[in-house]
Structure 1
Amino acid sequence: MGILEQIRSLFRRNPPSIAPTPPRPSAPALASRAPQINERRGKERINAREGTRVLIIDDSKTIVTVLKKFLRSAGYETLEALDAESGLAQLHPEPPELIFLDIVLPGMNGFAALRAIRRDPATRNIPVIMMSGNEQAMEQFFGTRIGADDFMKKPFSRYEVFFRIERLLDADLVPQRATPRLAEQAMPTPA
């Protein structure tokens, strides 16, 4: 059929037959397609004890607001800073029990802030979860080499935030440094 015939067929009174749309899958069919979602929702989340103090250091007000909302809804207390210098100033006299630290910050970057946290005897044992919107694995590798306890890519979900925290909890539901755990995960299992 030529182009002219195709154009004429578009203007004919009898519309071409349209294939019926397939029916939408039922809820059980959708559930079977996403077992990871059901597993995650079926597992009860373990939170740190209520009142756990968390410092959020990120230059994005949106990220700070989202993290603050997630954490406060679970009973955490939050402190916020939009740059590393003001975040480090909030570490004394009452240090937080966990820190979310962005890598790219105005002035001092997150890696320099992490080094300062690890050099200070009063703060060196506070667990730090580094965050970045950059997909480069080098940031994660470098962060763990200088003392990050975990790494989270932005954007993140509520589930991921609490998953990262849960991995750092001890038996008393207090966040602890994960350095030995990260070393164990990096080691191959014996055959």
Structure 2
Amino acid sequence: MGFSSFYRLFQRNRPAINKDRRTNRRVMPAEGTTVLIVDDSKTVRRIMSSMLHQSGYQTLEAEDGARGIELARNHKPNLIFMDVMMPGMDGFQATRKLQTDVDTQGIPVIIISGNRQATIQTWVRKIGATGFMAKPFERGEFFRRLESAIY
């Protein structure tokens, strides 16, 4: 069996590729559009940062809520992706502080979590976050949420 036959064998079992990402036009960010990623997982921060850089966004990264608040106050990003479960100050506490601070309350925050329960999503609304995105997420969903929060 040659490589092309082997490749076709696996292609048949793959789910259909989501074609909407090829037909939907992506918004090109204005120069200097910055996204803050607050997550204790270095891998998650690296993946999100890489996707954002490829699409023309600048990024800031924080490994916990306290550092995320500090970066948000100092740099005023256009959007914040905030993980829930982190050491020290969790994402709910950090988001609540950001939403009550005059300098940062206008920055949209999208809460990200591996926990899809309705209680998490209820808290997202109560603390004033812009939205919720469950992990793992697809690239298309990531950019749809980003674009709806910023534009």
1:37 corresponds to 2:24: no
Q: Which residue of 1 aligns with 2:102?
A: 121
> Aligned-pair distance for 1:88?
1.0
Who is 1:66 aligned against?
47
Partners of 1:48 and 1:148 lie apart in 2 by 22
Q: Which amino acid aligns with 1:48?
A: P
Counterpart of 1:62 in structure 2: which amino acid?
Answer: T
Q: TM-score, normalised by structure 2?
A: 0.85
Of 54, 75, 78 in structure 2, the residue corresponding to residue 94 of structure 1 is: 75
- Long gaps (5+) in structure 1: 1-23, 171-191
Q: Could you say what secondary structure the match of 1:168 adopts? A: helix
Alignment of 1:26-175 (within 5 A): 34=16, 37-170=18-151
1:92 offset after TM fit, Å?
2.6
Provide the rounded CA distance (Å) in 2 between the counterparts of 1:120 and 1:93. Answer: 13
| Structure 1 residue 61 displacement after superposition | 0.5
Following TM superposition, by how much is the alpha carbon of 1:107 offset from its aligned partner in structure 2, in angstroms? 0.8
Number of matched pairs: 142
**Larger radius of gyration, structure 1 or 2?**
1
Any gaps of 5 or more consecutive residues in structure 2? 1-7
Bigger fraction of residues in helix:
2
Alpha-carbon RMSD across the aligned residues, in angstroms, is 2.2
Cα deviation, residue 65, structure 1: 0.3
Mapped partners of 2:52, 2:35: distance in 1: 8
Contact 1:54 1:99 in 2 (8 A): yes
Output the amino acid matched with 1:80: E
1:82: how far off? Answer: 0.5
Distance 1:38 1:71 in 2: 20
Aligned to 1:8: none
Task: For residue 136 of structure 2, give the secondary structure of its aligned residue in structure 1.
Answer: coil
* Preserved CA contact (<8 Å) 2:79 2:150: no
What TM-score does the superposition give when structure 1 sets the normalisation length?
A: 0.68
